[in-house]
Amino acid sequence: MRHTPLGRSTATVTRLSFGAAALGNLFTPVTDEAAAQAVQAAWAAGVRSFDTAPHYGLGLSERRLGAALRDRPRDEYTIATKVGRLLVPAPSTGADDLANGFAVPATHRRVRDFSADGVRRSLEASLERLGLEHVDIVHLHDPDEHFAEAIGHAYPALEQLRAEGVVRAIGVGMNQCEMLTRFVRDTDIDTVLLAGRYTLLTQDAMADLLPEAARRGVSVIVGGVFNSGVLADPKPGATFDYATAAPETVDRALRMQAVCERHGIPLRAAAVRFALAPTAVASVLIGARSAEEIMDAANLLHRDIPAALWQDLRSAGLLPGHLPLPPQSRSLPDPAVFACFDNAAPAPPGEPSDRRTFVTADGRRRDTGCGPGVADQRHALMHGTARPHEMSPVDTAAHHTEQDRR
């Protein structure tokens, strides 16, 4: 799977990124085994960029993602987390966190904190949960009501962490375009994570954000490409931006689905490929709670979509004529390096039994190896004296239902 640099940074992402919100029991529980299998399947499909946050399941997503990646070579993948919500222990009441969307015990409460100290404390805690020495990307998470503190205190802290080499890229993740555009114009961020604002149904980002990002060399990661459900399975009662979709929205999605079906293409595939068309877009972020879901997402990415489908959507008045269209691609996953997650094989004789080996489609073994040990930089992070980590490039020879950010 193709790797794309994030802005002018040394961090890269694959065209498909794994969103780990569901690993935090988003809406419904996910077992530890299913979470591990989902990450394993993503790896087998060539995904090498992973996104999480403290918010997702009160840290459960970070713990599960870190555990699933622990034995992978650290220089072969990119991991992003977020700051802006500190997790503070809460009195034990037996309550759950479903009010915030996660089926986990309410052992902590979220405290918004976009101070410089809050950034370092949040990152330090994330490294602890992930079991990692460093993350590659850190986003400011939903600073909607905290813009002044975020741009005046949190952003400079991220800029310093990048200068120190503690992180490779910095960005902002939000569900709106206006504030992201301000960050792109007024700061030196490398990337933005935009959820639900550039899809087949809504293209708010094309007005300002995407053109400005392209002009300034800021990479955009697009999440929410199914608008929280209606573009995955359009029907009455489907959700659009986390609420019940209006009848006219469902009707529009059904008409799009009919056009896609005439060409033998799932609407989901068109939604994924459409989001990748703008110049500034580096990756599409799709969440999954199972191996089957992430393998489906990888297959959608590689569907050959005829140019006539896009023209028919335009002719039907379902897609504005000025929007960029994805180039037609007949390329399928390279059989020489595409490995299916269930092809796990024992380690070769004489090698540690905890090494993971996959057999590629042409019979070659691809050994994932064991990641380096975790060095303790957390005290240095807290006090702003962390040493730069080794910035090994992601392995660009590796080939290859939506991230519900709230």
DSSP one-letter string for 199-227: SSS--GGGTTHHHHHHHHT-EEEEE-TTG
Does residue 376 contact residue 386 with C-beta atoms inside 8 Å?
Answer: no
* Measured distance CA(353)–CA(159) in Å, rounded: 41
For residue 304, the SS3 value is: coil
* Measured distance CA(113)–CA(115) in Å, rounded: 6
* Measured distance CA(22)–CA(28) in Å, rounded: 8
Classify residue 314 as left (phi > 0), alpha (psi -120 to 50) or beta: alpha
Catalytic residue set: 56
CA 147 to each of CA 13, 84, 119, 172, 180: distance values in angstroms, whole numbers, following the listed order: 27, 11, 14, 11, 10
Treating both helix axes as pointing N-terminal to C-terminal, what angle do 247-262 and 307-315 enclose, rounded to 10 degrees?
A: 140
- 227: its two tokens: 């608008």
